[in-house]
Amino acid sequence: MDNELKKHITKTGTTTVGIVCSDGIVLAGDRKVTLGSGDNIVYVATKEEDKVIPVTDKIIVSTAGNFSDLQKIVKLIKSELRLKKLRSKQEPTIKEAANLFANVVYQSIRQMSVIVSITHFLLAGYDDEGFYLYEIGADGTLSKVENYQSTGSGMVQADPILDSEYKKGITTDEGINLVKKCINASRQRDLGSGKGIDVFVINKEGIRKVLSQTVVAEYRNR
């Protein structure tokens, strides 16, 4: 991934975190959507945006990037996966869904446009083989996540916490507390993150929203 692209990704205003646990996946995101990026944020567009979105009843993604591009890609993938299921009479595997996301993102960022399509996804899901977490990078790269991954501008605050506190074999209950700590740290320091948090657990029993919380005040007056 080239340096120019990395610069755009780290300035994308949001924080999402995915953690691989012994008994499932924990996936979380903040709620703030801003106009502008990085040091050029000029306005908070909304405080109540869902950044962790169900794709099927077994697949969910977190979103970071240009909001319109994220919406377009998620809608397209939903339709493609429904068509695939109707044609094959089988549920798409998590790996198939992740590859489809990666192919669409790869094509989108390479289309000539005045506004570059910057989209970054964490995909979590379960199938007959188990539960999985994948990262789909803004350049279309696909990586299976073995431990944890964060996206967006808030990753600067989240990654040090994950690096120091994540342990192999962590439970989903411990993972929930860890993602809460990460997003709380990012909302206090990152202008593009905050206003609330949504946390999901993904395992063979299904996809459950385990926390939906609004943050009333972001900063204290001094």
- Tell me the pLDDT tens digit for each residue of 154-168: 899 999 999 999 999
Kindly state whether residue 220 falls inside one of the protein's structural domains: no
Domain extent, residue 154, equals 3-214
Of 146 and 192, the structure prediction assigns the larger pLDDT to 146
Kindly state whether residue 219 falls inside one of the protein's structural domains: no
Kindly state whether residue 66 falls inside one of the protein's structural domains: yes
Tell me the per-residue pLDDT of 19-47, one tens digit each, with 9 for 90 and over: 999 999 999 999 876 655 545 544 344 55
The CATH number assigned to the domain holding 186 equals 3.60.20.10
Number of domains present in the structure of the chain? 1
Kindly state whether residue 96 falls inside one of the protein's structural domains: yes
Kindly state whether residue 114 falls inside one of the protein's structural domains: yes
Q: Which of 1-5, 111-115, 129-133, 149-153 has the lowest mean pLDDT?
A: 1-5
Q: Which residues contact 87 (CB under 8 A, 6 or more apart)?
A: none
Kindly state whether residue 80 falls inside one of the protein's structural domains: yes
> If you search the block for the tokens 């890609």, which residue do you land on?
73
Average per-residue pLDDT for the chain = 85
Kindly state whether residue 184 falls inside one of the protein's structural domains: yes
Please identify every residue annotated as catalytic: 14
Tell me the per-residue pLDDT of 75-125, one tens digit each, with 9 for 90 and over: 999 999 999 999 999 999 999 999 999 999 999 988 887 778 889 999 999
Q: What percent of the chain has pLDDT over 90?
A: 64
Scored b (16 or more CB within 10 A) or e, 100-109 reads bbbebbbebb
Kindly state whether residue 39 falls inside one of the protein's structural domains: yes
Which residues sit opposite 24 in a β-bridge? 21
Which residues sit opposite 43 in a β-bridge? 35
